[in-house]
Amino acid sequence: MTHHSLALIPGDGIGVDVTHAAIEVLAAVAKGRFTFETKTFPWSCEYYTETGRMMPEDGIDTLRGFDAIYLGAVGWPDTVPDSVSLHGLLLPIRKAFNQYANIRPHRLLEGVEGPLKADGFDILCIRENTEGEYSGAGGRVHEGKDNEVAVETSVFTRAGVERILRFGFEQARNRRKHLTSVTKSNAQKYSMVFWDEVTKELAAEYPEVTVSHMHIDAMAAKMVMAPQDLDVVVASNLFGDILTDLGAAIQGGLGFAASANINPDRSAPSMFEPVHGSAPDIAGKNIANPIAAIWSLAQMLEHLGEADAAEAVLSAIEAATAKGIGIRPGLNSTEDITAAVIAALEA
Ligand code: NAD
């Protein structure tokens, strides 16, 4: 049997609850299929309060030896500014391990009612994850003075843009063969025009894939008005970040939105996490929906070569929601939803 070694970073708030849920499901699906071991790291805002760091100096080196990283959610704005928690843990991991493809599926699970009339959509959103608007390049001068200046520079490299678009084309080729590239090239005349040009260059290599170019504002409207027309969507770091919260909304809420941070060349571990954050408003109440986290677990299994287990987890999630379990916020407890998924797995 294949053995997988996994690093767990439950993080803050509901991140801890949903990680626990995902690992319970992992234990159930592993039976007879594969073996695994986990090592849990307490890196979180609480850890920051105690140590002054979100993770130790050698945190990246420590994680490098694992087959995959599973993360709950990080952030506790009452004690640590979000800019510190994000830039101290999540973003460094994504960048250090070249997890440049952030994959987020958006479709309605059986039994789940979204806010739209449309229900037959199945979108795979691919967000660039290491550069663009979140490159971290910038600075502030004359802080606190009348002439204060803040500059934040978007960084788009040929290598970075080409590889994320190529990843998108490969995904589209294996799905419904349509790719939508999202930019704002009417207003951003350097980076986004460049992105459009690279899209056109690559399109020539994938004649079986049809390509649409859309501006982010029109794309936001389309995801509400006609999401069923979309297949693979590729967007920059910022645009992908925003669009995937919209994607989460149309699929019933953040409790259903899964996410994988993939290093496609497998030179370093990939990281799997739900789209949602630590949800301080419901932390400790046992009402967080673990489905997004369990779906992210399925993405991890797929990446680890356990396609059969991944499929089993997805079917079990859908068997639970088809029975009406976990389909609305607060309807069932985190534990009950997890138990229903495990029962469906073991049925
Ligand atoms: P959030 O995703 O934590 O919560 C937004 C809303 O959705 C809240 O009302 C919350 O109760 C609800 N919600 C989220 N997940 C849910 C679930 N599984 N089940 C039921 N309801 C759910 O976003 P936020 O409030 O903007 O951020 C809270 C903290 O999380 C911040 O510190 C933020 O920086 C952080 N954050 C972390 C990540 C991450 O670790 N990947 C992602 C987003 C936000």
For atom 23 of ligand 1, which residue has the closest CA? 277
With a 6 Å cutoff on the Cβ, whether 281 touches ligand 1 is yes
AA identity, residue 314: L
* pLDDT mean over 80-109: 95
| Local structure of 184: helix, strand or coil | coil
DSSP code for 6: E
CA distance 154 to 195: 13
Per-residue pLDDT band for 337 (boundaries 50, 70, 90) equals very high
What's the pLDDT tens digit per position in 112-157? 999 998 889 999 999 999 999 998 899 999 999 999 999 999 999 9
**Beta strand 101-107 pairing with 260-262:** antiparallel
Q: Closest ligand 1 atom to the C-alpha of 330? A: 20
Cα-to-centroid distance, 137 and ligand 1 (Å)? 26
What's the pLDDT tens digit per position in 209-266? 999 999 999 999 999 999 999 999 999 999 999 999 999 999 999 999 999 999 999 9
| Residue 10 scores a pLDDT above 90 | yes
Q: What is the pLDDT of residue 136?
A: 87
CA distance 199 to 209: 12
In this prediction, what percent of the chain has a pLDDT beyond 90?
Answer: 96
- Is 71 within 8 Å of 273 (Cβ atoms)? yes
Q: Closest ligand 1 atom to the C-alpha of 329? A: 20
Pocket test for ligand 1, best of 18, 94, 99, 254 (most atoms within 8 A of CB): 254
Cα-to-centroid distance, 3 and ligand 1 (Å)? 32
Compute CA 343 distance to the chain's CA centroid, rounded to the nearest angstrom: 26
Q: Closest ligand 1 atom to the C-alpha of 18? A: 18
Cα-to-centroid distance, 230 and ligand 1 (Å)? 26
With a 6 Å cutoff on the Cβ, whether 283 touches ligand 1 is no
* pLDDT mean over 300-308: 97
Q: Nearest-CA neighbor of 34 among 260, 317, 265, 302?
A: 302
* pLDDT mean over 283-298: 97
In this prediction, what percent of the chain has a pLDDT beyond 70?
Answer: 100
- Is 39 within 8 Å of 46 (Cβ atoms)? no
3-state secondary structure 228-290: HHCCEEEECHHHHHHHHHHHHHHCCCHHHCCCEEECCCCCCCEEECCCCCCCCCCCCCCCCCC
CA distance 147 to 149: 6
Q: What is the pLDDT of residue 72?
A: 98
Q: What is the pLDDT of residue 330?
A: 87
CA distance 119 to 226: 10
CA distance 16 to 71: 9
Region class of 136: left (phi > 0), else alpha (psi between -120 and 50), else beta? left
Q: Per-residue DSSP letters for 196-215?
A: HHHHHHHHTT-TTSEEEEEE
Q: What is the pLDDT of residue 321?
A: 97
* pLDDT mean over 93-121: 94
Q: Nearest-CA neighbor of 294 among 321, 268, 324, 269?
A: 321
CA distance 219 to 230: 10
| Residue 344 scores a pLDDT above 90 | yes
Cα-to-centroid distance, 332 and ligand 1 (Å)? 18
Q: What is the pLDDT of residue 327?
A: 95
- Strand boundaries in the chain, DSSP class E: 3-11, 35-40, 68-73, 101-107, 122-128, 132-141, 149-155, 178-183, 210-215, 232-235, 260-262, 270-272
Chain mean pLDDT for the chain? 97
CA distance 289 to 331: 9
With a 6 Å cutoff on the Cβ, whether 254 touches ligand 1 is yes
Cα-to-centroid distance, 245 and ligand 1 (Å)? 11
For atom 5 of ligand 1, which residue has the closest CA? 279
- For residue 113, count other CB atoms closer than 10 A to its CB: 10
Pocket test for ligand 1, best of 76, 276, 294, 334 (most atoms within 8 A of CB): 276
Q: Closest ligand 1 atom to the C-alpha of 86? A: 34
What's the pLDDT tens digit per position in 160-172? 999 999 999 999 9
With a 6 Å cutoff on the Cβ, whether 279 touches ligand 1 is yes
Q: What is the pLDDT of residue 329?
A: 87
With a 6 Å cutoff on the Cβ, whether 72 touches ligand 1 is no
With a 6 Å cutoff on the Cβ, whether 152 touches ligand 1 is no
Q: Closest ligand 1 atom to the C-alpha of 279? A: 3
Q: What is the pTM of this model?
A: 0.94
